[in-house]
Amino acid sequence: MTNNQNPINNNKGYYVGVDFGGTKILSGVFTNSLECIGTAKKKTKAHKGTEAVIERIARCILEALDECRLTIDDIKAIGIGAPGSINATTGEVIFSPNLEWKNVPLKRALERILNVPVFVDNDCNVSTLGVFDAELGAEPESMIGIFIGTGIGGGIIINRKLYSGLTNTAGEIGHMVIDIDGPKCGCGNYGCFEALASRKAIFTKIYSAIKDGQKTILTELLDGKLENMRSGDLKSAIKRGDEFVLKVVEQAARYTGIAVANLINILNPEVVALGGGVIEALENEMMPVILDVAGKHAFPGSMVKTKIISCRLGDSAGIIGAAVLAKSSLNP
Protein backbone atom coordinates (compact mmCIF):
# COMPACT_ATOMS: atom_id res chain seq x y z
CA MET A 1 0.00 0.00 0.00
CA THR A 2 1.51 3.35 -0.95
CA ASN A 3 0.69 6.60 0.75
CA ASN A 4 -1.66 7.54 -2.02
CA GLN A 5 -3.72 4.45 -1.44
CA ASN A 6 -3.95 5.09 2.28
CA PRO A 7 -7.62 5.98 2.80
CA ILE A 8 -6.90 8.39 5.64
CA ASN A 9 -4.34 10.22 3.55
CA ASN A 10 -6.97 12.59 2.18
CA ASN A 11 -6.35 14.54 5.36
CA LYS A 12 -4.04 17.47 5.02
CA GLY A 13 -1.37 15.78 7.14
CA TYR A 14 -0.61 13.86 10.30
CA TYR A 15 0.59 14.57 13.80
CA VAL A 16 2.82 12.57 16.10
CA GLY A 17 2.32 12.45 19.86
CA VAL A 18 5.09 11.22 22.14
CA ASP A 19 4.78 10.19 25.78
CA PHE A 20 8.34 10.43 27.00
CA GLY A 21 8.88 8.97 30.48
CA GLY A 22 11.76 7.95 32.69
CA THR A 23 11.47 4.28 31.72
CA LYS A 24 9.71 4.18 28.35
CA ILE A 25 8.94 6.20 25.23
CA LEU A 26 5.56 5.76 23.51
CA SER A 27 4.81 7.37 20.17
CA GLY A 28 1.61 7.51 18.16
CA VAL A 29 0.70 8.77 14.70
CA PHE A 30 -2.57 10.67 14.49
CA THR A 31 -4.77 11.84 11.65
CA ASN A 32 -5.89 15.43 11.40
CA SER A 33 -9.03 14.42 13.32
CA LEU A 34 -6.78 12.91 16.02
CA GLU A 35 -7.47 9.27 15.29
CA CYS A 36 -4.49 7.04 16.17
CA ILE A 37 -3.29 4.98 13.20
CA GLY A 38 -0.02 3.54 14.51
CA THR A 39 2.16 3.37 17.59
CA ALA A 40 5.63 2.36 18.68
CA LYS A 41 7.34 1.83 22.02
CA LYS A 42 10.96 1.95 23.20
CA LYS A 43 12.82 1.84 26.48
CA THR A 44 14.20 5.24 27.49
CA LYS A 45 17.59 4.02 28.74
CA ALA A 46 18.24 7.35 30.44
CA HIS A 47 21.64 6.14 31.68
CA LYS A 48 22.93 6.25 28.08
CA GLY A 49 22.89 10.05 28.21
CA THR A 50 20.96 12.92 26.70
CA GLU A 51 21.99 12.52 23.08
CA ALA A 52 21.30 8.79 22.99
CA VAL A 53 17.85 9.31 24.54
CA ILE A 54 16.95 12.03 22.04
CA GLU A 55 17.98 9.69 19.21
CA ARG A 56 15.80 6.96 20.72
CA ILE A 57 12.82 9.36 20.73
CA ALA A 58 13.48 10.15 17.05
CA ARG A 59 13.73 6.45 16.23
CA CYS A 60 10.54 5.68 18.16
CA ILE A 61 8.74 8.32 16.08
CA LEU A 62 10.08 6.90 12.80
CA GLU A 63 9.06 3.38 13.84
CA ALA A 64 5.49 4.51 14.51
CA LEU A 65 5.43 6.19 11.08
CA ASP A 66 6.76 3.03 9.48
CA GLU A 67 3.98 1.13 11.22
CA CYS A 68 1.39 3.06 9.18
CA ARG A 69 3.52 3.40 6.06
CA LEU A 70 4.08 7.11 6.38
CA THR A 71 7.30 9.09 6.32
CA ILE A 72 8.42 12.11 8.31
CA ASP A 73 7.38 14.29 5.35
CA ASP A 74 3.74 13.44 6.04
CA ILE A 75 3.98 14.94 9.53
CA LYS A 76 2.89 18.51 10.25
CA ALA A 77 4.09 18.64 13.86
CA ILE A 78 5.25 16.53 16.79
CA GLY A 79 4.07 16.97 20.38
CA ILE A 80 5.96 15.59 23.36
CA GLY A 81 4.99 15.19 27.00
CA ALA A 82 8.15 15.04 29.11
CA PRO A 83 8.64 14.52 32.85
CA GLY A 84 9.82 17.42 35.01
CA SER A 85 9.70 21.15 34.66
CA ILE A 86 9.52 22.27 31.07
CA ASN A 87 9.80 25.63 29.38
CA ALA A 88 6.92 25.14 26.94
CA THR A 89 7.90 28.23 24.96
CA THR A 90 11.45 27.16 24.18
CA GLY A 91 10.78 23.41 24.44
CA GLU A 92 13.57 22.97 26.96
CA VAL A 93 13.56 20.40 29.74
CA ILE A 94 14.59 22.69 32.60
CA PHE A 95 14.92 20.02 35.23
CA SER A 96 13.92 16.38 35.29
CA PRO A 97 15.05 14.35 38.31
CA ASN A 98 13.79 11.10 36.69
CA LEU A 99 15.95 11.59 33.61
CA GLU A 100 18.71 13.44 35.43
CA TRP A 101 18.36 16.17 32.81
CA LYS A 102 19.03 19.87 33.27
CA ASN A 103 18.43 22.53 30.62
CA VAL A 104 18.18 20.14 27.66
CA PRO A 105 16.93 21.85 24.45
CA LEU A 106 14.72 18.90 23.47
CA LYS A 107 12.66 20.81 20.89
CA ARG A 108 15.68 22.21 19.07
CA ALA A 109 17.56 18.89 19.09
CA LEU A 110 14.62 16.92 17.69
CA GLU A 111 13.76 19.57 15.09
CA ARG A 112 17.35 19.38 13.89
CA ILE A 113 17.12 15.59 13.49
CA LEU A 114 13.60 15.36 12.04
CA ASN A 115 13.10 18.74 10.39
CA VAL A 116 9.50 19.01 11.64
CA PRO A 117 8.11 21.48 14.24
CA VAL A 118 8.29 20.00 17.76
CA PHE A 119 6.32 21.18 20.81
CA VAL A 120 7.17 20.06 24.34
CA ASP A 121 5.23 20.35 27.61
CA ASN A 122 5.09 18.66 30.99
CA ASP A 123 3.75 15.07 30.81
CA CYS A 124 0.85 15.67 33.20
CA ASN A 125 -0.18 18.84 31.36
CA VAL A 126 -0.13 16.86 28.14
CA SER A 127 -2.12 13.93 29.58
CA THR A 128 -4.67 16.40 30.94
CA LEU A 129 -5.00 17.83 27.41
CA GLY A 130 -5.49 14.27 26.12
CA VAL A 131 -8.30 13.46 28.56
CA PHE A 132 -9.89 16.86 28.03
CA ASP A 133 -9.84 16.65 24.27
CA ALA A 134 -10.21 12.97 23.38
CA GLU A 135 -12.26 11.72 26.32
CA LEU A 136 -14.37 14.75 27.19
CA GLY A 137 -14.70 16.24 23.71
CA ALA A 138 -13.06 19.50 24.85
CA GLU A 139 -16.35 20.41 26.50
CA PRO A 140 -15.71 21.19 30.17
CA GLU A 141 -15.11 24.87 30.87
CA SER A 142 -12.69 23.80 33.63
CA MET A 143 -11.06 20.50 34.57
CA ILE A 144 -8.33 19.13 36.81
CA GLY A 145 -6.39 16.02 35.77
CA ILE A 146 -4.81 14.02 38.61
CA PHE A 147 -2.34 11.29 37.63
CA ILE A 148 -1.28 8.83 40.30
CA GLY A 149 1.66 6.63 39.35
CA THR A 150 5.17 6.39 40.81
CA GLY A 151 4.66 10.04 41.67
CA ILE A 152 1.60 12.29 41.51
CA GLY A 153 1.14 15.11 39.01
CA GLY A 154 -1.70 17.11 37.59
CA GLY A 155 -2.88 19.48 34.94
CA ILE A 156 -5.44 22.27 34.94
CA ILE A 157 -7.85 23.35 32.21
CA ILE A 158 -9.43 26.78 32.61
CA ASN A 159 -11.65 28.45 30.02
CA ARG A 160 -11.20 25.27 27.94
CA LYS A 161 -7.43 25.86 27.73
CA LEU A 162 -4.45 24.39 29.50
CA TYR A 163 -3.54 26.70 32.37
CA SER A 164 0.21 26.59 32.95
CA GLY A 165 0.81 29.49 35.33
CA LEU A 166 3.59 32.05 35.40
CA THR A 167 6.55 29.71 34.85
CA ASN A 168 4.69 26.67 33.46
CA THR A 169 4.68 24.81 36.80
CA ALA A 170 0.94 25.03 37.56
CA GLY A 171 -0.59 21.67 38.44
CA GLU A 172 2.17 20.44 40.80
CA ILE A 173 -0.60 19.05 42.97
CA GLY A 174 1.55 16.17 44.20
CA HIS A 175 3.36 18.60 46.45
CA MET A 176 0.27 20.01 48.12
CA VAL A 177 0.75 19.37 51.86
CA ILE A 178 -2.29 17.66 53.35
CA ASP A 179 -0.77 16.17 56.47
CA ILE A 180 1.82 18.46 57.97
CA ASP A 181 3.06 15.65 60.24
CA GLY A 182 3.01 13.05 57.46
CA PRO A 183 5.88 11.06 55.95
CA LYS A 184 8.82 12.70 54.20
CA CYS A 185 8.40 13.40 50.51
CA GLY A 186 11.03 13.21 47.78
CA CYS A 187 10.82 17.02 47.56
CA GLY A 188 12.17 17.32 51.11
CA ASN A 189 8.93 18.38 52.81
CA TYR A 190 6.51 16.31 54.90
CA GLY A 191 2.99 15.11 54.21
CA CYS A 192 2.73 16.03 50.52
CA PHE A 193 -0.11 14.30 48.64
CA GLU A 194 2.57 12.36 46.70
CA ALA A 195 4.18 11.10 49.93
CA LEU A 196 0.81 9.74 51.03
CA ALA A 197 -0.92 8.27 47.99
CA SER A 198 1.54 7.61 45.13
CA ARG A 199 2.60 4.10 44.15
CA LYS A 200 5.90 4.79 45.86
CA ALA A 201 4.08 5.82 49.08
CA ILE A 202 1.85 2.73 48.98
CA PHE A 203 4.78 0.37 48.31
CA THR A 204 6.90 1.99 51.04
CA LYS A 205 4.10 1.42 53.53
CA ILE A 206 3.76 -2.22 52.48
CA TYR A 207 7.51 -2.92 52.56
CA SER A 208 7.85 -1.36 55.97
CA ALA A 209 4.89 -3.30 57.41
CA ILE A 210 6.27 -6.60 56.04
CA LYS A 211 9.61 -5.77 57.63
CA ASP A 212 7.71 -5.31 60.90
CA GLY A 213 6.23 -8.80 60.57
CA GLN A 214 2.97 -8.07 58.68
CA LYS A 215 1.72 -11.14 56.77
CA THR A 216 0.43 -10.59 53.22
CA ILE A 217 -0.45 -12.69 50.17
CA LEU A 218 1.96 -10.46 48.21
CA THR A 219 4.96 -12.42 49.54
CA GLU A 220 3.59 -15.61 47.99
CA LEU A 221 2.28 -13.89 44.84
CA LEU A 222 5.68 -12.40 44.09
CA ASP A 223 7.56 -15.50 45.12
CA GLY A 224 9.32 -13.48 47.79
CA LYS A 225 10.65 -11.00 45.23
CA LEU A 226 8.82 -7.99 46.64
CA GLU A 227 11.02 -5.61 44.68
CA ASN A 228 9.14 -6.74 41.54
CA MET A 229 5.81 -5.49 42.97
CA ARG A 230 3.49 -3.60 40.61
CA SER A 231 0.11 -1.89 41.15
CA GLY A 232 -1.63 -4.90 39.57
CA ASP A 233 -0.22 -7.18 42.26
CA LEU A 234 -2.08 -5.14 44.89
CA LYS A 235 -5.27 -5.75 42.93
CA SER A 236 -4.56 -9.52 42.84
CA ALA A 237 -3.83 -9.60 46.58
CA ILE A 238 -7.06 -7.74 47.36
CA LYS A 239 -9.02 -10.11 45.09
CA ARG A 240 -7.62 -12.98 47.09
CA GLY A 241 -8.86 -11.42 50.32
CA ASP A 242 -5.74 -9.65 51.62
CA GLU A 243 -7.24 -7.26 54.21
CA PHE A 244 -3.92 -5.60 54.93
CA VAL A 245 -3.31 -4.57 51.32
CA LEU A 246 -6.93 -3.41 51.03
CA LYS A 247 -6.47 -1.22 54.10
CA VAL A 248 -3.31 0.39 52.71
CA VAL A 249 -4.96 1.06 49.34
CA GLU A 250 -8.08 2.50 50.98
CA GLN A 251 -5.93 4.78 53.11
CA ALA A 252 -4.25 6.11 49.94
CA ALA A 253 -7.72 6.62 48.45
CA ARG A 254 -8.79 8.60 51.52
CA TYR A 255 -5.81 10.93 51.13
CA THR A 256 -6.68 11.26 47.46
CA GLY A 257 -10.27 12.16 48.38
CA ILE A 258 -8.99 14.97 50.60
CA ALA A 259 -6.67 16.22 47.85
CA VAL A 260 -9.61 16.19 45.41
CA ALA A 261 -11.75 18.16 47.89
CA ASN A 262 -8.94 20.70 48.42
CA LEU A 263 -8.71 21.23 44.66
CA ILE A 264 -12.49 21.53 44.35
CA ASN A 265 -12.57 24.08 47.18
CA ILE A 266 -9.87 26.10 45.46
CA LEU A 267 -10.95 25.82 41.82
CA ASN A 268 -14.59 24.66 41.80
CA PRO A 269 -14.01 22.88 38.45
CA GLU A 270 -16.52 21.21 36.17
CA VAL A 271 -14.59 17.90 36.05
CA VAL A 272 -11.92 16.19 38.13
CA ALA A 273 -10.42 13.30 36.14
CA LEU A 274 -8.23 10.73 37.88
CA GLY A 275 -5.77 8.59 35.95
CA GLY A 276 -2.34 6.98 36.07
CA GLY A 277 -1.20 3.44 36.78
CA VAL A 278 -2.44 3.27 40.37
CA ILE A 279 -5.96 4.43 39.50
CA GLU A 280 -6.04 2.17 36.43
CA ALA A 281 -5.12 -0.92 38.45
CA LEU A 282 -7.17 -0.14 41.56
CA GLU A 283 -10.11 1.83 40.21
CA ASN A 284 -12.81 -0.32 41.85
CA GLU A 285 -11.10 -0.21 45.22
CA MET A 286 -10.18 3.48 45.19
CA MET A 287 -12.84 5.46 43.33
CA PRO A 288 -15.77 4.84 45.75
CA VAL A 289 -13.58 5.91 48.70
CA ILE A 290 -12.29 8.98 46.81
CA LEU A 291 -15.85 10.07 45.95
CA ASP A 292 -17.07 9.54 49.50
CA VAL A 293 -14.20 11.40 51.20
CA ALA A 294 -14.19 14.24 48.65
CA GLY A 295 -17.93 14.68 49.19
CA LYS A 296 -17.42 14.97 52.93
CA HIS A 297 -14.53 17.44 52.63
CA ALA A 298 -15.75 19.73 49.85
CA PHE A 299 -17.18 23.04 51.01
CA PRO A 300 -21.01 23.05 50.90
CA GLY A 301 -22.17 23.97 47.42
CA SER A 302 -18.76 23.70 45.78
CA MET A 303 -19.10 20.13 44.54
CA VAL A 304 -22.78 19.93 43.63
CA LYS A 305 -22.13 20.09 39.91
CA THR A 306 -18.52 18.83 39.73
CA LYS A 307 -18.05 15.42 38.09
CA ILE A 308 -15.31 13.24 39.56
CA ILE A 309 -14.36 10.53 37.06
CA SER A 310 -11.62 8.02 36.36
CA CYS A 311 -10.00 8.36 32.93
CA ARG A 312 -10.91 5.78 30.30
CA LEU A 313 -7.91 6.54 28.07
CA GLY A 314 -5.31 4.84 30.26
CA ASP A 315 -1.80 4.84 28.91
CA SER A 316 -2.82 6.48 25.64
CA ALA A 317 -3.80 9.80 27.29
CA GLY A 318 -0.14 10.80 26.98
CA ILE A 319 0.26 10.26 23.23
CA ILE A 320 -3.19 11.63 22.38
CA GLY A 321 -2.54 14.71 24.51
CA ALA A 322 0.82 15.20 22.84
CA ALA A 323 -0.87 15.05 19.43
CA VAL A 324 -3.41 17.63 20.66
CA LEU A 325 -0.49 19.79 21.82
CA ALA A 326 1.15 19.48 18.38
CA LYS A 327 -2.04 20.33 16.51
CA SER A 328 -3.12 23.20 18.75
CA SER A 329 0.38 24.71 18.89
CA LEU A 330 0.57 24.72 15.11
CA ASN A 331 -2.95 26.16 14.72
CA PRO A 332 -3.49 28.26 17.82
Question: Nearer to a second copy by C-beta: 91 or 171?
Answer: 171
CB of 189 to a second copy, least distance (A): 5
Q: Is 187 in the site for a second copy (CB under 8 A)?
A: yes
Q: Which of 21, 38, 151, 171 binds a second copy (CB under 8 A)?
A: 171
Which residues pair with residue 75 across a beta bridge? Answer: 14
Instruction: Give the C-alpha distances (Å, rounded to integers) separating 176 from 15, 181, 199, 259, 298.
Output: 35, 13, 17, 8, 16
Question: Nearer to a second copy by C-beta: 47 or 305?
Answer: 305
DSSP state string for 265-287: HHH--SEEEEESHHHHHHHHHHH
Nearest to 272 by CA among 303, 234, 316: 303
DSSP annotation of 190: B
Question: Is residue 44 packed enough to be buried (19+ CB in 10 Å), middle (13-18) or exposed (0-12)?
Answer: buried
Q: Is 179 in the site for a second copy (CB under 8 A)?
A: yes
Q: Is 173 in the site for a second copy (CB under 8 A)?
A: yes
Binding-site size for a second copy (CB under 8 A) equals: 51
Phi, psi of 98 (to 5 degrees): -60, -40
Q: Which of 72, 113, 178, 330 binds a second copy (CB under 8 A)?
A: 178
* CA–CA distance, 252 with 215 (Å, rounded to integer): 19
Name residues contacting a second copy, limited to 200-229 (CB under 8 A): none
CB of 282 to a second copy, least distance (A): 21
Q: Which stretch binds a second copy (CB under 8 A): 13-21, 118-126, 176-184, 318-326?
A: 176-184
Q: Is 176 in the site for a second copy (CB under 8 A)?
A: yes
CB of 237 to a second copy, least distance (A): 26
Residue 252 CB contacts under 8 Å (≥ 6 apart), including other chains = 196, 197, 201, 202, 278, 286
Give the x-and-dash track for 53-82 against a second copy (CB under 8 A). ------------------------------
Which residues pair with residue 189 across a beta bridge? Answer: none
Angle 312-27-16 from CA coordinates, rounded to 5° = 100
Name residues contacting a second copy, limited to 249-308 (CB under 8 A): 255, 258, 261-263, 265-270, 296-297, 299-302, 304-306
* CA–CA distance, 286 with 234 (Å, rounded to integer): 12
Asked if residue 78 lies in contact with residue 119, where contact means CB atoms within 8 angstroms, the answer is yes
CB of 180 to a second copy, least distance (A): 4
Q: Is 138 in the site for a second copy (CB under 8 A)?
A: no
Give the x-and-dash track for 93-112 against a second copy (CB under 8 A). -xx-----------------
Phi, psi of 228 (to 5 degrees): -90, 5
Residues that bind a second copy (CB under 8 A): 85, 94-95, 141-142, 154, 156, 158-159, 163-173, 175-182, 187, 189, 191, 255, 258, 261-263, 265-270, 296-297, 299-302, 304-306
